[in-house]
Amino acid sequence: MNRPGDRAGARALGSAREPGGLYAAPSILWLTVFFLAPLAIIVAYSFMTPGARGGVEWTPTLDAYRAIANPTFAKVTLNTILVAIGATAVTLIIALPCGYYMARSERQTLLLMLVMIPFWTNFLIRIYAWIAILGNEGFLNDLLLALGLVDESVRFLYNRGAVMLVLVYTYLPYAILPLYSTIDKFDFSLLEAARDLGASKLGAIVRVLLPNVKGGILTAFLFTFIPIFGAYAVPLLVGGTESYMLGNLIADELTKSRDWPLASAISLVITLVTTIGVLLLLRANGASTLGGSAGEASADGAAPEPAVGGAR
Amino acid sequence: MERGGEKQKTVKGSDVVIEHVRKSFGDFKALDDVSIGIRKGEFFSLLGPSGCGKTTLLRIIAGFESPEGGAVLLDGKDVLGQPPDARHVNTVFQNYALFPHLTVFENVAFSLRLRKAPESEVKARVAEYLQLVELQAHASKKPAQLSGGQKQRVAIARALINEPSVLLLDEPLSALDAKLRQHMLIELDSIHDKIGITFIYVTHDQQEALSVSDRIAVMNSGEVLQVGTPQEIYEAPATDFVAKFIGETNLFEADVASVSGETVELRTDGFGPVKVTATEPPPVGSRVSWTIRPEKIRIGLEEPRSARNGINAVAGVVDEPIYSGFQSKFYVRAPSGLVLKVIKQHADWSDEGPEIAWKDAVWLSFSAEDAYIVEVKR
């Protein structure tokens, strides 16, 4: 990605040494201070003994990792994976046609505005709005009761369904935007070519559109799956005990049990699971397009042109 | 796959009849009551400037647009209700529209895969069609690794592998450079000879259309102006537009002075009396447009001896000689101020005439048989 910088730098400095590193210095500094150092602290904490009132005592132990190996933790992890996969899948299934429609529409600016309007309101306030709609005395129940469709309030909230619904709602724009920007660059005459060669409407989309917007789909997946996997506020506010997720577990260990090493160990597990998942996906997708699609979804998500000679 | 094509050994493909087709985009009339009959196995060109409706007509035949009225008949059957995938017609797109995620092999195999042809058939057929376009060596490449001409050939193989009865070509050579275009044109022609199906070829390049077509339809502003062989279109244009659009020409107006058989004497505005030919001579006194091609005019320094009746002679001065290698073009101004274009092929050893230069006083002569009445104005 910073190859042009390399060349420009070589010319500017006229030195024999590769000066590219200099240009990367700000981002290296940023990543070190705000990512690598905290990560190192978390790793270190996870191998220590919990302090009496939070914090750690610097006595090395594997207690935190032994504590992870219990059924409660496995149950929460499984629930987290299910919710994350389910909510991501639903989000993508809704986002794909939305992105397609936006790319083909003549009123793209308006539609883009509509997708982004939710960002103008605070995330927590939007969750509370869902509570106001779905609650036992919420808008939806009032409506159902008034229409006589139900006799008593339906319990919409505090279960896994509510968590999924609000997660999908929250992360839909993050999936629509990269999909829209990728599909917008797609050459729609390819769909006509597919129809011409005998494909049905759906066949043309499956065989020609989807493979060519793979990069956008991957980006949309990463933009939704990773934050959902670490979700905390949504399951806390609209979930019940059965929809408890890893994010909530970490918060509880930190604030209630005051077991910082265990919280650190759990968050490392989340980091590890998502990293491995992302790497596998990237590999399956052909590694060359990864940096571009994850890093610059809006500008580069498509990566439709495989580098000549780079085909596998 | 039906094997109907193989039974008729000589002529394959379908005839295509377009009847009173109309299509507008908003206020813009893309096609205004267009009717054309295209014969089985014909190499038929739709020729016209951009925006004349030729591509719209092609897209209607392919099934990508539906007209507001009229009919499109393939072998007598109206296909307008059928979606593109149901029509036995394939298209070579202007920008090739190759699938970037598939190799050359899989691009060509696309329609076979769609109907789940067995692997052995796919291999054999793709090999056959890659050989037809001489791309066997590139089967495993992706489109991005191909040159423009190679992409074009993949597009042709991909469209032909389904054995369509009509192949539609939408300005297939416009993205290629001039030399390659000539080469691909000859290749297209030989593929047409080998396959023998109907080709409908859309182009704005009159040179392309003239050199490969069996017949041409010249279109402008959503109307068909003339349908005919290249010779007919070039030698006897039906309208002023056709005369000006096809090749270079001299086009003037004049009044009909007298008529004898197919020879008409005109009272021209700038050259005195001129004899021309008309298959259906207009009545004396009509206002007409007439044309003479620049290469049909002889240019010389001496007054031609009117050995034969029906040779017209006009005197003038060379206004502008333009040398272009194998030929020269002269703009010759008659005393009246009208300018005639003349093209002279460069001399071989037998030509002893002197060089003609700027400001020379010259004589132009042309036969009445080469000059035509194009339109009768009133």
**ipTM of the complex model:** 0.82
| Co-location of B71 and B107 in the same domain | yes
| Co-location of B64 and B139 in the same domain | yes
Please report which confidence band the pLDDT of residue A57 belongs to, taking 50, 70 and 90 as the band edges: confident
| Co-location of B132 and B149 in the same domain | yes
Q: Tell me the percentage of chain A whose pLDDT exceeds 70.
A: 85
Question: Which residues 229-288 of chain A have a CB within 8 Å of chain B?
Answer: none
| Co-location of B284 and B317 in the same domain | yes
Residue B48 token pair: 């016209």
CATH number for the domain harbouring residue B296: 2.40.50.100
Spell out the long-range contacts of A65-69 with Cβ–Cβ below 8 A and sequence spacing 24 or more.
A65/A265, A67/A259, A67/A262, A67/A265, A68/A262, A68/A265, A68/A266, A68/A269
| Co-location of B162 and B267 in the same domain | no
Please report which confidence band the pLDDT of residue A19 belongs to, taking 50, 70 and 90 as the band edges: low
**H helix or E strand, kind and range, residue A166:** helix A160-184
Q: Could you write out the DSSP letters of every residue in B151-178?
A: HHHHHHHHHHTT--SEEEEESTTTTS-H
Reduced to 3 states (helix: H, G, I; strand: E, B; else coil), residue A90 is helix
Please report which confidence band the pLDDT of residue A2 belongs to, taking 50, 70 and 90 as the band edges: very low
For A211, the closest chain B residue by CA position comes to B101
pLDDT of residue B36 exceeding 80, the answer is: yes
| Co-location of B234 and B333 in the same domain | no
Q: Which residues contact A49 (CB under 8 A, 6 or more apart)?
A: A56, A57, A58, A59, A60, A61, A63, A261
Q: Which residues contact A141 (CB under 8 A, 6 or more apart)?
A: A134, A135, A150, A153, A154, A156
Q: What is the pLDDT of residues A119-161, one digit of tens each?
A: 899 999 999 999 999 998 889 999 999 998 888 888 899 999 9
| Co-location of B278 and B338 in the same domain | yes
Question: Taking each helix axis from N to C terminus, what angle separates A214-229 and A260-284, rounded to the nearest 10 degrees?
Answer: 170
Tell me which of A177 and B303 has the higher pLDDT: A177
Query: Range of B314's domain?
Result: 248-376
Helices (H) and strands (E) counted in chain A, each on its own, are 18, 2
Give contacts of B144 with chain A, Cβ < 8 Å: 305-306, 308
Q: Is A196 within 8 Å of A214 (Cβ atoms)?
A: no
pLDDT of residue B107 exceeding 50, the answer is: yes
What is the C-alpha separation between A123 and A139, in angstroms, rounded?
20
- Domain boundary pick from B188, B213, B242: B242
Q: What is the pLDDT of residues B299-332, one digit of tens each?
A: 988 888 765 677 888 889 999 889 888 888 999 9
What is the C-alpha separation between A177 and A209, in angstroms, rounded?
17
Query: How deeply is A230 buried, as exposed, middle or buried, from its count of CB atoms within 10 A (0-12, 13-18, 19+)?
Result: middle
Q: What share of chain A is helix, strand, coil (3-state, %, to 5)?
A: 75, 0, 25
- Domain boundary pick from B192, B221, B242: B242
Give the CATH class of A69-300: mainly alpha
pLDDT of residue A4 exceeding 70, the answer is: no
Question: Which residues 82-101 of chain B have a CB within 8 Å of chain A?
Answer: 83-85, 89-91, 93, 95, 97-101
Residue A190 touches chain B, beta carbons under 8 Å: yes
For A195, the closest chain B residue by CA position comes to B85
Reduced to 3 states (helix: H, G, I; strand: E, B; else coil), residue B18 is strand
| Co-location of B179 and B294 in the same domain | no
Q: Which amino acid is at A206?
A: V
A203 contacts B144? CB cut-off 8 A: no
What is the C-alpha separation between A215 and A183, in angstroms, rounded?
10
The greatest distance separating any two alpha carbons of chain B, rounded to the nearest whole angstrom, comes to: 76
Domain locations along chain A: 69-300
CATH number for the domain harbouring residue B187: 3.40.50.300
Q: Which among B142, B144, B158 has the least Cβ separation from residue A197?
A: B158
For A198, the closest chain B residue by CA position comes to B85
Q: What is the CB neighbour count within 10 angstroms for residue A206?
A: 13
**Alpha-carbon distances of B81 from B21, B25, B71, rounded to whole Å:** 14, 20, 10
| Co-location of B238 and B259 in the same domain | no
- Domain boundary pick from B203, B225, B242: B242
Helices (H), chain B: 4-7, 54-62, 104-114, 119-132, 148-160, 178-195, 206-212, 230-235, 240-245
Tell me the nearest-neighbour CA distance from B88 into chain A, angstroms: 9
Tell me which of B120 and A285 has the higher pLDDT: B120
Give contacts of B95 with chain A, Cβ < 8 Å: 187, 189
Sign (positive or negative) of CA dihedral A116, A122, A126, A132: negative
| Co-location of B266 and B337 in the same domain | yes
**H helix or E strand, kind and range, residue B19:** strand B16-25
Q: Tell me the β-bridge partners of B267.
A: B255, B273
Give contacts of B85 with chain A, Cβ < 8 Å: 195-200
Q: Note the pLDDT of residue B377.
A: 87
Split into its structural domains, chain B has a count of 2
| Co-location of B297 and B320 in the same domain | yes
Q: What is the CB neighbour count within 10 angstroms for residue B321?
A: 18
| Co-location of B31 and B103 in the same domain | yes
pLDDT of residue B184 exceeding 70, the answer is: yes
Q: If you average pLDDT over residues B142-146, what whole number do you get?
A: 94
Q: Note the pLDDT of residue B306.
A: 63
Q: If you average pLDDT over residues A169-178, what whole number do you get?
A: 95
pLDDT of residue B259 exceeding 60, the answer is: yes
